[in-house]
Structure 1
Amino acid sequence: MALVLRYVDKNGEVVERFIGLVHVSDTSACSLKKEIYSLLSDHSLSPSKIRGQGYDGASNMKGEINVEDFFDHVTNVLNVVGGSFKCRDLLRHHQAENLKQLLESGDAHTGQGLHQECGLQRPGDTRWGSHFKILDNFLVIFSSIVHVLEVIEIEGSTSSDRNQAEYLLTKIESCQFFLLLGIGRLNPVNSFSNFDKGRIMTLAKYYPSEFDDGKLRDLSYQLDTFIIHMRGGNSKFSNLQRIRDLAKALVEANLVETNSLVYLLVKLTLILPVATETVERAFSSMKHNMKTRRGQL
């Protein structure tokens, strides 16, 4: 078993650290938990500080949020929404209308490289780096995807198409999706075009240890001033593309203290429970070494 820690450092950078390998003969949940806690203790790390866990292939350790199933649903949604020229045209038209409204309201700004059209990229391999790019894209065009599915649900050419659209709509409106897609409401792309205070507050409620009733009230006030500041034309925040870019920009602009709860939520979204690229690199290296040794025998 390989253990990797993912955290956000004092500079707002997302860091992954390979902690070590442990041989386990029993892969039950209790045994794995015991070995994980033992390895953390060896490095003077407290399990109480853990805010998410991800497991690569350990089905007996999966909790309420099954990331593999989540991406299966995302793939099915993208296949349906991108399954015809009509659907893709509907998607583009809705994206264009959303952008037009944002520009007219002043919530988005024009500029070179901004507001580029997002396509329907699908998972082409099992690498988590690929999955993250797909999720990023999915978050940006989420409202347009919902719009297309709603149209198919009513106007689909066959009952099978209509039923499938209805099923996928129920899936993407489930708690799992609201949790994992809630991070998209903090995505700074297109001048925070996906910002949704209500869904961000819902996301915060998934972390009761950090956000009690008092902290939730304070977060609500901070979000109001935060979005005004972000859309105020400051060049440091106008061209951000990812949440990790936002974390770094807040640190560099010395805005962490005044937006402490928003920054805390940003950090929590950056360490959501997923299998990390470092895990994959570790196992890839192990496989390579094993093959090399076999070739020497």
Structure 2
Amino acid sequence: MKKKKTIDLKSLWERSAKSQKIASTTVPKPLTIESEVQISQNVPSNPIQLLLEAPSAHDSDTSPSVQVEKEETNPSTQPNRAASPATGPRTESSPLSPISDDGDDDDDGIYDVDLLPRDPAHRTPISSYDVNKQDAVRRGFVALGPFQPDHEFPQRDIGAQARRIVEALDVGDIETGTGLNQEMGLSRPGDTRWGSHYKTVMHVISLYPSIRQVLFKVGKDKSQNAEAIQAQTMLESFESFEFIFMAHLLLAIFGYSDDLSNALQKRDQDIVNAIELIYDTKMQLQLLREDDGWESFLKDVTSFCAKHGIKVVDMDGFYKPVGRSKRFFKKVKNFSRFHVDMFISIIDRQLQELNDRFDEVNTELLLCMASFNPIDSFAAYDKENLVKLAQFYPKDFTETELLHLPFQLTLFINFVRRDERFKNVKNLVELSTMLVATKKHTAYELVYKLLKLVLILPVATASVERVFSSMNYVKNKLRNRMGEQYLNDCLVTFLERDLFVQVTNDDIISRFQAMATRKVKL
């Protein structure tokens, strides 16, 4: 028969008063069965505090005591207590008493590990316990071993674009490869950056689900007052058929004219290819304007709306503006609004812009310039076009020079086709450089003058745009009072920085020293 453990109430009272630093000389009354039930109801909720207040089994037997017998418990209702790895098999004991070695000394014992909280977030700091019991508490936590909290974190929306790419790869909508499926972002389009609007429209269509989700979450965020209202307004327009229609229309127009824009802003333009791109762009926009182009375009827009759950409007129904009052619009049907007012009107404006910039005179001028193209041993050479080109500059060529120009062109073309040094020339800039290097610019003076006029024309288009864009960096708010000559010098060094990088500091010092006689030699 196991020895029944007893609790010395006097020792329990003194230890509790000592841990709370309260001086007490009152002796508690003997405990009865009814008072034991009342004590069990008033037990503090912190189990570690109970353990610290529990006495050892070898305290004085002279004080009033009460025997607490271990009650038989039902194994099905009592949790299974595994043996501690540090102490081996454990003996059955009261949950209020510490586990000690042979019941002789509490210094080497550990507290009941089942009463210690497992989660570190719920543990009371060891320094807040009684000094004499801190080592026992530490041994109890060591016996518990490491603890890994089992948290279920909600799935965040970060990486939604990556998950959609994985789903699209599984379905087969997109393919893998080098440089494909890279992360994209929205950038503000710039008026002086050709092609920036086209890139922005492409990214809006590609990132449509992600942008839509961001607007939805911002609109639902109550902490964002003005931003939430603005996001809800944008989301209403973003989910409309009219927005999808306009986005795809801009994508089509920018897509057909992007190659022409890139060709015209190159430093060394291929005039022949630029002229061909002008004709091709006009032709494609005209085909898009026809009925077949409208049907194909509307099919693409409808397919995109069906894929993303956007309601497609009925072309036979009446037009309902999104986010605007009806009184500002005439009562027209959707077909008239989308096909005539939007589709046909925008394409016609783009065609009119191309015709204004590249009219018959400008197109003929560019075609004449193309006759100077040195590629493939001057395969595009045409003497009549070059003479006609000279006639566009009556102030630069006299009547006598115009009469002599055809004969000089014939001598020039025979020379450059025969000379091996001109076979590797690929553009007009290299042709001009080679003429100067071979001293032939003086022999064919009229041809060289005409070539310089041809080289000036591209400078008056894309290069001028670059100069005005660069001026914002040179003449800023801190240097807004510089003179014209100083501004011109700064612009030259900024625009031709690739050339000035090759100039060494010694060359600059030598040039500065030679400009005037100086007392000190640098």
| TM-score bin, normalised by smaller chain | 0.3 to 0.5
Q: Which has the larger radius of gyration?
A: 2
If the length of structure 2 is used for normalisation, what is the TM-score?
Answer: 0.27
If the length of structure 1 is used for normalisation, what is the TM-score?
Answer: 0.45
Name which structure has the greater RCO, CA cutoff 8 Å, separation 6+. 1
